[in-house]
């Protein structure tokens, strides 16, 4: 039985109830985090909390809980769900209102909801157990505040369905200048001629914790050249390797883009080394 946390109580997920007048339901007015935990140990909890605070600031939502209180409740949720390999979904919305109106005050109490779901520990870098992705490319039609981890994900959902409808698992998004932004649920890296490149953070991109941790690990444990700069569609489509990054996938190889193989069409050697290092060092920082 999955145990959830809702506004101070630990209860079976199936018994959790939220009012339809919650602004999270009415407007998608909330933010969230997905935090992996392996055998009771969070990956980069400090980075997740930092981004949560940035998202809360970005939507002008003030919560009474300190970081220590949030960690305590997440720890307890993991414990009550058996402390195995699990993802923790944490969502904070602007709470329940009497009247549906766009403008908000911060008078009502935020709704804090979290639950745990089982995850498989990603590959340790062996190509044989890599989860590979086929991707399609599209023009990014989401909103101009993608740096906020908003629960309002309809733009991402519709882009993901474009991938699914074309028999793929992810979509690589490009802005009006035909520069790479990210994927529907991941950040993106390319690797070519021994160089790793990823777009710089701005309002078009979610500042992924896995992206950040990957950059830390590559800086600390390799002498690879890493460039953070605009990446053109031509560079993505001719790259030797393309990787996705997200908390539940860590680094995952893209082996096909718009039906064409990426490099050899198999997980590449740089991905393998990067994911091995990520796996080894994922608990090193931001605990």
Ligand X SMILES: Cc1ncc(COP(=O)(O)O)c(C=O)c1O
Please report, as ranges, the residues that interact with ligand X according to CB under 6 A: 34, 156, 182, 185-187, 206, 208-211, 245-247
- Cβ contact 88:78 at 8 Å: yes
Cα distances (angstroms) measured from residue 186 to each of 56, 138, 245: 21, 15, 5
Nearest to ligand X of 211, 282 (CB atom):
211
Q: Is 266 noted as a catalytic residue in this protein?
A: no
Pick 96 or 204: Cβ nearer ligand X: 204
Q: Alpha-carbon Rg of the chain, whole angstroms? A: 19
Question: How many Cβ atoms from other residues are within 10 Å of residue 165's Cβ?
Answer: 9
Q: Which is nearer to ligand X, 93 or 245 (CB)?
A: 245
- Tell me the closest approach of the beta carbon of residue 262 to ligand X, in angstroms: 19
Contact 101, 68 (CB under 8 A): no
Q: C-beta of 33: minimal distance to ligand X in Å?
A: 8
| Catalytic position from the list 99, 141, 149, 266 | 149
To ligand X, the closest distance from the beta carbon of 3 in angstroms equals 23
Between CA 169 and CA 145 the distance in angstroms is 24
Please count the CA atoms within 13 angstroms of the CA of 74 that sit on its side-chain side. Answer: 27
Give the integer Cα–Cα distance in Å for 185 and 27. Answer: 21
Of the pair 97, 242, the CB lying nearest ligand X is at: 242
Least Å from the CB of residue 108 to ligand X: 27
Please identify every residue annotated as catalytic: 149
């Amino acid at each position: 039985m999955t145990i959830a946390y809702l506004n101070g109580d630990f209860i079976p997920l199936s018994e959790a109830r939220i009012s339809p007048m919650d602004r999270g339901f009415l407007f998608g007015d909330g933010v969230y985090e997905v935090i992996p935990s392996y055998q009771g140990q969070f990956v980069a909890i400090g980075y997740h909390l930092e981004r949560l605070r940035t998202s809360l600031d970005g939507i002008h939502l003030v919560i009474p809980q300190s970081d220590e209180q949030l960690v305590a409740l997440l720890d307890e949720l993991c414990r009550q769900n058996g402390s195995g390999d699990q993802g923790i979904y944490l969502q904070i919305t602007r709470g329940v209102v009497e009247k549906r109106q766009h403008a908000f005050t911060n008078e009502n109490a935020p709704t804090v909801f979290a639950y745990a779901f089982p995850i498989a520990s990603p590959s340790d870098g062996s190509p044989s157990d890599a989860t590979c992705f086929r991707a399609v490319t599209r023009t990014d039609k989401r909103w101009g505040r993608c740096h906020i981890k908003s629960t309002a994900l309809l733009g991402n959902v519709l882009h993901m369905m474009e991938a699914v409808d074309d028999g793929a698992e992810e979509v690589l998004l490009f802005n009006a200048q035909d520069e790479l932004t990210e994927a529907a649920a991941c950040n993106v890296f390319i690797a070519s001629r021994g160089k790793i490149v990823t777009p710089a953070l701005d309002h078009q991109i979610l500042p992924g914790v896995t992206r950040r941790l990957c950059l830390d690990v590559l800086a600390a444990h390799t002498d690879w050249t890493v460039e953070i700069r605009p990446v053109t569609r031509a560079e993505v489509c001719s790259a030797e390797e393309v990787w996705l990054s997200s908390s539940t996938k860590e680094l995952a190889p893209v082996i096909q883009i718009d039906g064409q193989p990426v490099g050899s069409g198999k997980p590449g050697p740089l991905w393998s080394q990067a994911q091995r290092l990520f796996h080894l060092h994922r608990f090193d920082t931001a605990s």
